Structure 1
Amino acid sequence: MTSAPPAGEPATLPRGVRIGYGSGSVATGAFGTVPGLMLLPYLTDELGIAALWAGVIVFVPKAWDVVLNPIAGRVSDRTVDPAGPRRPWLIRAGLMLAGAFALIFAAPDLGSSVLEAGWVLLFFVLAASAYAFFQVPYVAMPAEITTSYDERTRLMTWRVAILAFTIMLAGATAPLIRDAVGGRDGYRVMGVVMAVLIAVGVASAWWGTRRAPIGAVAAGAGSLREQLRVVGQARDFRVLLTTFVLQALATGCMLAGVDYLAGDVLERSGAATILFVCFVGPALLLTPVWASLGTRIGKQRGYVIASLVLAAGAVLASAARVAPPAVVFAATALVGVGYAGCQVFPMAMLPDAAAVDSARTGENRAGVYTGVWTAGETLGLALGPAVFAVVLALGGYLSSEGREITQPDSALTAITLGFSVLPAVLTLLSLWWLRQYTLDAAEVAAAEGAVRA
């Protein structure tokens, strides 16, 4: 890695660094997508776990992550290494994540659903722990490798574009691999393939950021509790985080519902893959458009517009039980258009909040900020499948062990509402907090000037 640019000269990052950093989203996208998409069906439809207990198994490891993420941020803040405090953790924790992920879906036939559920829970906890020590340093890097307000947006554009591509690749191919092989072996093969994908993303991010500037890194003073208290008092960060967590919860509900909507409501072969392509395809094309819009009208206003588009698509998807599948696919594509913006803007606004804090206090708490942020994102994405599982249980969903079961009408209604109306309400609710965000380009630029001075 290289040193920071001279004072007063915010650097334009080389394209290779932008792509290298963005490639870390391959690991983020695969781990964030596949368990949310495949784990709940694996537990209910393959292992025969009741929906409520399956929701608990999906939620507990992520809840553990919420506790661990700020600690991972604190540890990376205080890591001393020639490559900087963040980059070594990419390869260390990332490879552990890949190995643990493959084992989540590799449960042997233990003759007991309790033991098999325990296997899943154990390795999901291990994978979540490794993910915390990969993701938190990874998200902290932009605040340190560039001091430019606009450069962070460009950096996030690459990250979100690669994230969107990975979500489409992983989300579309995971069900295909499972169905092509069939049964538990299908899940096992799918888990190994996704683990390899995670390892490739980890290695690419570690290698691709070797020439990225380290920037000024000096861990904040005080205990972790004291730093968390200071971060919690940063009002703009707090409302931005609340917005993002609610939207992560909405996304988690939709992600958990894809396989159920495709198989039980649409009853169309390959519908899960089509839904994912519709969801992520627009994001691949429109991520740069959202970034350009944010440059013209501001990140906050762009974020509001993207949220409204996402909510509109989710509302339209509520017609899944009566409308032709094409309407559902179009609604999902509209969700994807909004989702792209709902990733670009908050990811670009987070480093701004950390930079303003650094200018105000003279201390670098980027790791703690991103630790809290990642904990919130993890909580939202974990609660999504758990809440969806509760909706399934309330609707009377019938679990099985690989057998074909006709679901009651109430379960089909629950699947549809959990995939559409619930995410739309959560997204619209999040805007109440987003409207309270006050940081703009001028204030962030002033903070960056103070840091460079």
Structure 2
Amino acid sequence: MAPTAATPSPSAVSLGVRLGYAVGSFCTANFSTIPGLLLLFYMTNVLAVPAALAGVVLFLPKAWDLVANTLVGRWSDRTVSRWGPRRPWLLAGAVVLPVSFALMFAGPPLTGAPAAVYVGLTFLAAATGYALYEVPYKAMPAEMTTDYHERTSLLQWRMVLIAISIAMSGILAPMIAGGTAGGYRTMGVVFGLVLLASMLASFFGTARAPFTGQQKSEGTLREQLAAARTSRPFMWLLGLSSAQTLAVGVMLAGSPYFAAYIIGDPGATTTLFAALVGPMLVTMPLWVWLARRLDKRGAMILSGTMFAGGGLLLLPTPVLGSLYAHLCVMVVGIGYAGLQLLQYSMLADVIAHDGVVSGERRGGVFTGLWTAVENAVAALGATIYGWVLSAGGFLSSDPEHPVTQPGSAHVAVMIGVTAVPALITLVGVLMTFRYDLTAARLAEAMAHAHPERPAPLPRQDQTSPER
């Protein structure tokens, strides 16, 4: 079922702009999914990197994100250009990310620790390019409309294209990569081109986007970071979203191992991903409706519970078989669809609330912190799964020297992809009860907004007025 356009209103966003913004999700989802899904397996099973070291390599570049994302967010908040404050940074990311992504899977004639160093350096460059693009990109929905529920409707288009791009990365990427260095090299080039196309498309597609943001912020970066940390809704949302992202990261990293060692078919990674993203393509209108009926917090609690429950239902897979596993993953996918839609809609609400209260444009600082933590937590998911494998005695290998895994490694594969992410998700569900930015509270803040503030600009490609 395709989402329907919102009823036109002064706060509505046109269908063309919704699609123009949403197409950038091919960058977001592919870069988030492919390293999380394949990079650990690529290092342990193609480049013969020990599992514990491979997990560390995946996490260390994310320490740089804590610096890069906050700086990019601050720079985009202060940018004044004929393209608006965010869009120039979309182009900057397009210059860096696609090339470094292709190099990451280039497969040089290295194995073990030297291969780990190479992958780590190229992953660092790719993370920098992603920061240049993703931080401003995430800040844009909060500045396109002032309506609480319109943001959810706007973002459902993004979630539909995220589902399609997750299907691309989860189904096509493993098929292209196969199990050889040459296959991974081809996959890196193909998806590097996909990243480039989506980043340029989102730049041109948002040229006519409305802009309802505030004037640029004048405080120092330290002051803006302090403001973000003192925002109760932002900190609780960041915490619950981090738990969800960590759980997804653990499950993604474990998917190829689950397919190969539990189901007994490495190719099942493709069909498992189809079972995951299929519900995302048809349930977005349902989650939009639930967000209106239960408010976003209630819908978020429901989606997190479904994600965790589906993960725990996977435990009997060795007995009940492949079909049962795929049905359970469909339950996970329904919950995952809600988690993805609602967390970004709630982030837009938090940014809008801060803009109304402060009278300044500092959504970039919020999204910079968000993206830095999100990327670090996602990478930590692969690191945690690598540690679980290592604790279970998993043996690394390369295609020319296959090994037989001990029984403890099979147990680690199963626990790491089921119980571990389910428990982490339930922590996020508990944290959701403390998030309190509802539609009524946001409306109250807007009612008490500064009456002397200049009227919002009608176009994204216009500069904001100076006070």
Which TM-score bucket, shorter chain as reference?
A: over 0.9
Partner of 2:410: 412
CA contact (8 A) 2:215 2:359 kept: no
- Shift of the alpha carbon at 1:71? 1.3
- Shift of the alpha carbon at 1:40? 0.3
Structure 1, residues 317-361: CA drift from partner, whole Å, max 9, x if none? 122332211111111111000000001111111111111111112
Are 1:424 and 2:419 an aligned pair?
no
Mapping for residues 366-385 of structure 1, pairs under 5 Å: 366-385=363-382
Name the CA distance, whole Å, in 2 between partners of 1:213 and 1:87. Answer: 13
Amino acid in structure 1 at the alignment position of 2:364: G
Amino acid in structure 2 at the alignment position of 1:405: V
Q: Among 253, 263, 277, which residue is 1:266 paired with?
A: 263
Partner of 1:184: 181
Name the CA distance, whole Å, in 2 between partners of 1:321 and 1:385. Answer: 23
- Shift of the alpha carbon at 1:163? 0.7
CA contact (8 A) 1:40 1:256 kept: yes
Structure 1, residues 86-140: CA drift from partner, whole Å, max 9, x if none? 0111122123111110000003214x53322221111100000110111000000
Partner of 1:3: none
- Shift of the alpha carbon at 1:452? 8.5
- Shift of the alpha carbon at 1:167? 0.5
- Shift of the alpha carbon at 1:42? 0.7
Partner of 1:144: 143
CA contact (8 A) 1:265 1:412 kept: yes
Name the CA distance, whole Å, in 1 between partners of 2:438 and 2:214. Answer: 24
Amino acid in structure 2 at the alignment position of 1:176: M
Amino acid in structure 1 at the alignment position of 2:118: W
Name the CA distance, whole Å, in 2 between partners of 1:331 and 1:450. Answer: 47
Partner of 2:101: 101
Name the CA distance, whole Å, in 2 between partners of 1:399 and 1:448. Answer: 56
- Shift of the alpha carbon at 1:240? 0.9
Mapping for residues 47-62 of structure 1, pairs under 5 Å: 47-62=47-62
CA contact (8 A) 1:278 1:329 kept: yes
Q: Among 387, 391, 397, which residue is 1:390 paired with?
A: 387
Task: Say how many residue pairs are matched.
Answer: 442
Mapping for residues 130-141 of structure 1, pairs under 5 Å: 130-141=129-140
- Shift of the alpha carbon at 1:451? 5.0
Name the CA distance, whole Å, in 2 between partners of 1:241 and 1:278. Answer: 28
- Shift of the alpha carbon at 1:448? 3.8
* Gap change, CA 1:172 and 1:451, over 3 Å in 2: farther
Name the CA distance, whole Å, in 2 between partners of 1:227 and 1:175. Answer: 41
Partner of 2:332: 335
- Greater CA deviation, 114-123 or 80-89? 114-123
* 1:298 match: secondary structure: helix
Would you tell me which structure has more helix in proportion to its own residues? 1
Partner of 2:323: 326
Name the CA distance, whole Å, in 1 between partners of 2:70 and 2:194. Answer: 26
- Shift of the alpha carbon at 1:32? 0.2
CA contact (8 A) 1:355 1:448 kept: no
Name the CA distance, whole Å, in 2 between partners of 1:370 and 1:450. Answer: 25
Q: What is the TM-score of this pair, normalised by structure 2? A: 0.92
Are 1:278 and 2:275 an aligned pair?
yes
* 1:30 match: secondary structure: helix
Mapping for residues 102-181 of structure 1, pairs under 5 Å: 102-110=102-110, 112-179=111-178
Name the CA distance, whole Å, in 1 between partners of 2:265 and 2:359. Answer: 57
- Shift of the alpha carbon at 1:447? 3.1
Name the CA distance, whole Å, in 2 between partners of 1:448 and 1:319. Answer: 51
Name the CA distance, whole Å, in 2 between partners of 1:269 and 1:392. Answer: 17
Are 1:211 and 2:208 an aligned pair?
yes
* 2:108 match: secondary structure: coil
Partner of 2:37: 37
- Greater CA deviation, 362-371 or 22-31? 362-371
Are 1:445 and 2:424 an aligned pair?
no
CA contact (8 A) 1:167 1:280 kept: yes
* Gap change, CA 1:394 and 1:213, over 3 Å in 2: same
CA contact (8 A) 2:59 2:383 kept: yes
Name the CA distance, whole Å, in 1 between partners of 2:240 and 2:24. Answer: 24
Partner of 2:434: 436
Mapping for residues 291-306 of structure 1, pairs under 5 Å: 291-306=288-303
Name the CA distance, whole Å, in 2 between partners of 1:360 and 1:217. Answer: 11
Structure 1, residues 62-88: CA drift from partner, whole Å, max 9, x if none? 222133211110011111211111011
- Shift of the alpha carbon at 1:450? 4.9
CA contact (8 A) 2:30 2:165 kept: yes
Seq. identity, %: 42
CA contact (8 A) 1:10 1:148 kept: no
Q: Structure 2 regions of 5+ residues with no counterpart?
A: 1-8, 452-467
Are 1:346 and 2:346 an aligned pair?
no
Q: What is the TM-score of this pair, normalised by structure 1? A: 0.95
* 2:369 match: secondary structure: helix
CA contact (8 A) 1:321 1:416 kept: no
Structure 1, residues 149-204: CA drift from partner, whole Å, max 9, x if none? 1111111111111111111111111111112xx51001100111111111121111
Cα-Cα RMSD: 1.4
CA contact (8 A) 1:320 1:416 kept: no
